[in-house]
Structure 1
Amino acid sequence: MTYVVPNYFLVNNYKNLTHIDNLLCLHSIVKGHNSIVDARNTMHSMNILIEGSKIIHTENKNITIEAKEICFLTQNNYYMSERMTKESRYKSMVLYFDDTFVLEFIKKYAIELQAIQELEILKIPYKQNRFFTATVTLFEEYLEHQLPTELLKLKVEEIFLHVLRLKPKELHSFLSTILNKTEKRVLHILESNIDIIENIKDMCTLTHLTSNQLRRYIKKQAHTTPKLWIDTKRLQKATLLLKNSDKNITEIATECGYATSSWFISQFKKEYAQTPKEFREKNHS
């Protein structure tokens, strides 16, 4: 199952979704069976695993998150396996945050970032630190009792500060990775989700922008319109797949966001004066 998050929870008015200023927190996620999820994160996230385990599958490795561990993810697409305990229990909380929160956090606490390397995923256990554990427990209780936004946000910041104290180099690298991509964030989100974009409305939903904001952003960053930009990116992705993969034309059309293979062939021929098959025969490696 593919989920674009937190969009999915917003559209479906998920009862356990709490707004904390420009943050969103999905709390008391309880599952009754193991599952594999294709999560398209349009925001960064902090995953707090309370019971059960989670495996995040990346291109290079699998990262296992156990109970009483926190995992930070930058905005991206992830495959996740979520598993219950032997007692058939799984429970977690997920906080979604954006670049603005990161900038405000750094400024508020006068943090001078000293990144060592890029870090898109950061995990840290908290069960062996009683102060950290107390903070997470209180945050969960605050959410359950719907305490004021100001108190909830302070608890979120407190969790980040615990991580900063225990893993300063790693958090510096994680936050730097986010800020290094801030200016191009929207373009990155759109490129990562080309296969599920059908129109401008979908682009706005994914990026949390109005149509006017989206047009201004695309014009500033790419000097074109949203429609022309997405059409170009679809065709660029198609040429790469034709050159470097053995996927058939229908599979490539679907992966590049075309509703039908005939429409893909028509648009490709219009742009390159040859069919995808002819292109592949000349360029396939």
Structure 2
Amino acid sequence: MLFRFPPIPPDKTDATFLCGKEGAFAKLKIESKAGKRTVFLTEHTLLFVRKGAKLLHFSTGTVTVTPDNAVLLKKGIYVMAEYIEEGLSFEALLLFLPVKLLKALALQQQFGRKTEHQGEPFMLLPCNDLMQGFKEQLRQYFDTPVANIDQLLPLKQKEILLLLISSGQRNRVAHFILDAISTEPEDLEYTVRTYLLQPVTLEDLANLSNRSLASFKRDFQRLFNAPPKQWINRQRLEYARLLLQNSNQRVAEITTECGFESPSHFIRLFKKTYGHTPQSLRADITID
């Protein structure tokens, strides 16, 4: 299952989100049991940990976020887990950073232009006393209703970015922000193959590759010689058939692992493409 933070549109009845008229500003995450999940950050995000530790799993290794540091994350899909000591709980805050805010700050701070690609989608930063104080104040907003929240929370977003810049991390933060707000198209093939087995839409993929939907479809057709939905479904189905032939996973599990929205949708596409259902393919293999 893919969790979207913030969801679009946001659920304003969910008390774990701070929401205003323009959307969700922040998310409070509390867990009593360790877990591992895949999260789609639909906005650039600053993540603070108050209790326990957050583990971010990348192909190059695992990054640990503790109460002594914070992490800037570009929008994208991440595998996350929590480390919780026995008898304690995990608590984290996610502050969403819209592109409009980052662009205004980059202009105000005269960051200049991006010189090279950031590479890593995250930046781990130490938390000084002022940042710790900000974290604790932000936590209180989830328990205490505040008037004029729409005017206040954008100021809080800007405040923490200025604190990061003033903490001796100006060049690193500037580099991250310039990379985050870049409008240069990302490598389309890399984006598509990275998120191929995630339940994302074409609009999501276009956004992640810094393209309009029309540009994404045009560039995709040129690169793969096929319409996006057709090519993506074909790749997912081929991987699903491989799993059916070489694993004992249930059809529902394969549906999720291959990025399909539901088992019925997966079975319908599979039968249309191969002429038989996933169950009948597995039955034929068993008979042979």
TM (normalized to structure 2)?
0.68
> Residues of 1 paired with 2:188 and 2:44: CA distance?
13
Q: Which residue does 2:228 correspond to in 1?
A: 229
Shift of 1:92: 1.4
Q: 2:258 — aligned with what?
A: 255
AA aligned opposite 1:179: I
Distance 1:163 1:42 in 2: 22
Matches within 5 A, 1:51-66: 51-66=51-66
The residue that corresponds to 1:97 in the other structure is 97
Partner letter of residue 196 of structure 1?
A: P
SS state at 2:75 partner: coil
Q: CA deviation at 1:171?
A: 1.5
Q: Give the letter for the 2:39 counterpart.
A: A
SS in 2 for 1:172: helix
Partners of 1:19 and 1:186 lie apart in 2 by 33
User: Which residue identity lines up with residue 235 of structure 1 in the other structure?
Assistant: R
- Whether 2:25 is the aligned partner of 1:25: answer yes
TM superposition shift of 1:235: 3.2
Paired residue secondary structure (1:30): strand
Match among 170, 173, 184 for residue 171 of structure 1: 173
1:283 aligned partner: none
Cα RMSD of the aligned pairs, angstroms, is: 4.2
Aligned to 2:4: 4
Partner in structure 1 of residue 286 of structure 2: none
Shift of residue 218, structure 1, vs aligned partner: 2.2
- 131 and 5 in structure 1: CA distance in 2 versus 1, 3 angstrom threshold: closer
| Equivalent AA in structure 2 for residue 3 of structure 1 | F
Q: What residue ranges of structure 2 are gaps of 5+ in the alignment? A: 246-250, 276-288
Q: Judging changes above 3 Å, is the alpha-carbon distance between structure 1 residues 190 and 180 closer, same or farther for their aligned structure 2 residues?
A: farther
Partner of 1:80: 80
In structure 1, runs of 5+ residues without a counterpart are 210-215, 270-285
Which is worse superposed, 46-55 or 252-261? 252-261
How far did 1:256 drift?
5.6
| Contact 1:48–1:94 (CA under 8 A) maintained in structure 2 | yes
Aligned partner of 1:151 in structure 2 is 152
- After superposition, the C-alpha distances for 1:160-198 in whole angstroms (9 at most, x for unaligned) are 12222322232223223323356569995997366425x
Contact between 2:134 and 2:160, CA under 8 Å: does it hold in 1?
yes
Alpha-carbon deviation of 1:101? 2.7
Cα drift, residue 38 of structure 1? 1.4
CA distance in structure 1 between the aligned counterparts of 2:98 and 2:188, rounded to whole angstroms: 11
- What percentage of aligned pairs have identical amino acids? 11
Counting only pairs closer than 5 Å after superposition, residues 199-238 of structure 1 correspond to structure 2 as 217-223=212-218, 228-235=227-234
Give the equivalent residue in structure 1 for 2:199: 196
Distance 1:21 1:260, change over 3 A: closer
Q: 1:82 to 1:261 in 2, by over 3 A?
A: same
Structure 1 stretch displaced more, 82-91 or 137-146: 137-146
Distance in 1 of aligned mates of 2:64 and 2:85: 14
Please give the alpha-carbon distance, in whole angstroms, between the structure 2 residues aligned to 1:193 and 1:13. 32
**Residue 133 in structure 1 maps to residue 132 in structure 2:** yes
Residue 160 of structure 1 corresponds to 161
CA distance in structure 2 between the aligned counterparts of 1:262 and 1:217, rounded to whole angstroms: 30
Structure 2 Cα separation of the partners of residues 23 and 82 of structure 1: 26
Q: 1:27–1:140: 8 Å Cα contact kept in structure 2?
A: no
